[in-house]
A = this chain, B = another copy of it.
Amino acid sequence: MNRSATPRFPAFLHGGDYNPEQWLKYPEILEKDVELMREAKVNCVSLGIFSWAFLEPEEGVYDFAWMDRVIERLWSAGIHVDLATPSGARPAWLAEKYPEVLRVDDRFHRQHFGGRHNHCPSSPVYQEKVRAIDTALARRYAHHPAVILWHISNEFSGDCRCPLCQDRFRAWLQDRYGSLEALNDHWWTGFWSMRYTSWSQVEPPSHRGQNANPAIWVDWRRFSTWQCRSFIEMEKAALHAVNPDIPVTANLMHRFWDYDYFELAKPLDVVSWDSYPAWGMGDDLREASEHAMTHDLMRSLKDRPFLLMESTPSQVNWHDVNKLKKPGMHLLSSMLALGQGSQSVMYFQWRKGRGGAEMFHGAVVGHDGTADTRTFRQVRQVGDALERLAPLYGAEKAPARVCILYDWNNLWALDYAQMGRRGDMRYTETVNEHYRALWKLGVNMDFRDCESFADDGRYQLVIAPMLFMTRAGIEEKLRAFVARGGTLLMTAPAGTIGEDGLAHLGQTPHGLTDVLGIRALELDALTDTQENRLIWADGPHRLLRLCELIQAEGAQVLGTYGEDFYAGSPCLTRHDFGKGQAYYLAAQTEEAFLTALYRRLVESLAIPRALPGELPDGVAAQERGGAVFLQNYAPQARQAAVPGAWQDLLTGDVWQDRVELEPLGIRVLVRK
Choice from B22, B96, B114, B208 contacting A211 with Cβ under 8 Å? B114
Indicate if A115 sits at the interface (CB-CB under 8 A).
yes
Check if A503 sits within 8 Å of B318, measured CB to CB.
no
Residue among A92, A188, A375, A527 having the largest count of chain B Cβ atoms under 10 Å: A92
Check if B418 sits within 8 Å of A355, measured CB to CB.
no
Choice from B57, B213, B357 contacting A357 with Cβ under 8 Å? B213
A354-B186 Cα distance, complex, nearest whole Å: 9
A91-B196 Cα distance, complex, nearest whole Å: 8
Check if A190 sits within 8 Å of B21, measured CB to CB.
yes
13 examples of A-B residue contacts, CB within 8 angstroms = A50-B190, A53-B197, A86-B193, A92-B198, A96-B200, A115-B211, A116-B192, A188-B356, A281-B527, A317-B419, A322-B421, A359-B503, A368-B505
A326-B522 Cα distance, complex, nearest whole Å: 12
Check if B314 sits within 8 Å of A522, measured CB to CB.
yes
Closest chain-B Cβ to A544's Cβ sits at a distance in Å of 12
Inter-chain contacts of A206 with B (CB < 8 A): 112, 114
Residue among A57, A198, A505 having the largest count of chain B Cβ atoms under 10 Å: A505
Check if B355 sits within 8 Å of A188, measured CB to CB.
yes
The 0/1 profile, CB within 8 Å of B marked 1, for residues 333-365 of chain A is 000000000000000000011111111110000
Check if A195 sits within 8 Å of B368, measured CB to CB.
no
Please judge, given known A-B contacts A190-B353, A357-B213, A424-B320, whether A508 and B197 are in contact too, CB under 8 Å. no
Which residue of B is nearest A197, CB measured? B93
Check if A522 sits within 8 Å of B324, measured CB to CB.
yes
A211-B564 Cα distance, complex, nearest whole Å: 49
Choice from B51, B367, B525 contacting A321 with Cβ under 8 Å? B525
Inter-chain contacts of A324 with B (CB < 8 A): 522-524, 549
Closest chain-B Cβ to A461's Cβ sits at a distance in Å of 30
Inter-chain contacts of A315 with B (CB < 8 A): 522
Closest chain-B Cβ to A508's Cβ sits at a distance in Å of 7
Indicate if A174 sits at the interface (CB-CB under 8 A).
no
Check if A508 sits within 8 Å of B191, measured CB to CB.
no
Indicate if A533 sits at the interface (CB-CB under 8 A).
no
Check if B369 sits within 8 Å of A191, measured CB to CB.
no
Residue among A52, A191, A323, A367 having the largest count of chain B Cβ atoms under 10 Å: A191
Indicate if A256 sits at the interface (CB-CB under 8 A).
no
A319-B197 Cα distance, complex, nearest whole Å: 33
Selected interface stretch from A103-111, A225-233, A595-603, A621-629? A103-111
Check if B317 sits within 8 Å of A195, measured CB to CB.
no
Choice from B25, B197, B322, B503 contacting A525 with Cβ under 8 Å? B322
Check if A521 sits within 8 Å of B373, measured CB to CB.
yes
Closest chain-B Cβ to A180's Cβ sits at a distance in Å of 11
What total of chain A residues lie within 8 Å of the partner, measured CB to CB? 114
Indicate if A43 sits at the interface (CB-CB under 8 A).
no
Indicate if A185 sits at the interface (CB-CB under 8 A).
yes
Inter-chain contacts of A326 with B (CB < 8 A): 564-565
Check if A91 sits within 8 Å of B188, measured CB to CB.
no
The 0/1 profile, CB within 8 Å of B marked 1, for residues 205-220 of chain A is 1101111111100000
Check if A320 sits within 8 Å of B423, measured CB to CB.
yes
Check if B419 sits within 8 Å of A191, measured CB to CB.
no
The 0/1 profile, CB within 8 Å of B marked 1, for residues 511-544 of chain A is 0000000000111111100000000000000000
Closest chain-B Cβ to A322's Cβ sits at a distance in Å of 5
Which residue of B is nearest A510, CB measured? B367
Inter-chain contacts of A360 with B (CB < 8 A): 417-419, 503
Check if B419 sits within 8 Å of A322, measured CB to CB.
yes
Inter-chain contacts of A92 with B (CB < 8 A): 194-198, 201
Check if B502 sits within 8 Å of A50, measured CB to CB.
no
Which residue of B is nearest A205, CB measured? B114
The 0/1 profile, CB within 8 Å of B marked 1, for residues 166-192 of chain A is 000000000000000000011111111
A206-B115 Cα distance, complex, nearest whole Å: 11
Check if A501 sits within 8 Å of B116, measured CB to CB.
no
Please judge, given known A-B contacts A193-B52, A195-B57, A357-B192, whether A115 and B212 are in contact too, CB under 8 Å. yes
Inter-chain contacts of A356 with B (CB < 8 A): 188, 190-192, 194, 212-213
A23-B21 Cα distance, complex, nearest whole Å: 62
The 0/1 profile, CB within 8 Å of B marked 1, for residues 34-58 of chain A is 0000000000000000111110011
Which residue of B is nearest A186, CB measured? B355
A203-B112 Cα distance, complex, nearest whole Å: 9
Indicate if A90 sits at the interface (CB-CB under 8 A).
yes
Indicate if A24 sits at the interface (CB-CB under 8 A).
yes
Indicate if A113 sits at the interface (CB-CB under 8 A).
yes
Which residue of B is nearest A528, CB measured? B321
Which residue of B is nearest A519, CB measured? B368
Indicate if A255 sits at the interface (CB-CB under 8 A).
no
Choice from B186, B209, B418, B505 contacting A111 with Cβ under 8 Å? B209
Indicate if A644 sits at the interface (CB-CB under 8 A).
no
The 0/1 profile, CB within 8 Å of B marked 1, for residues 413-442 of chain A is 000011111111000000000000000000
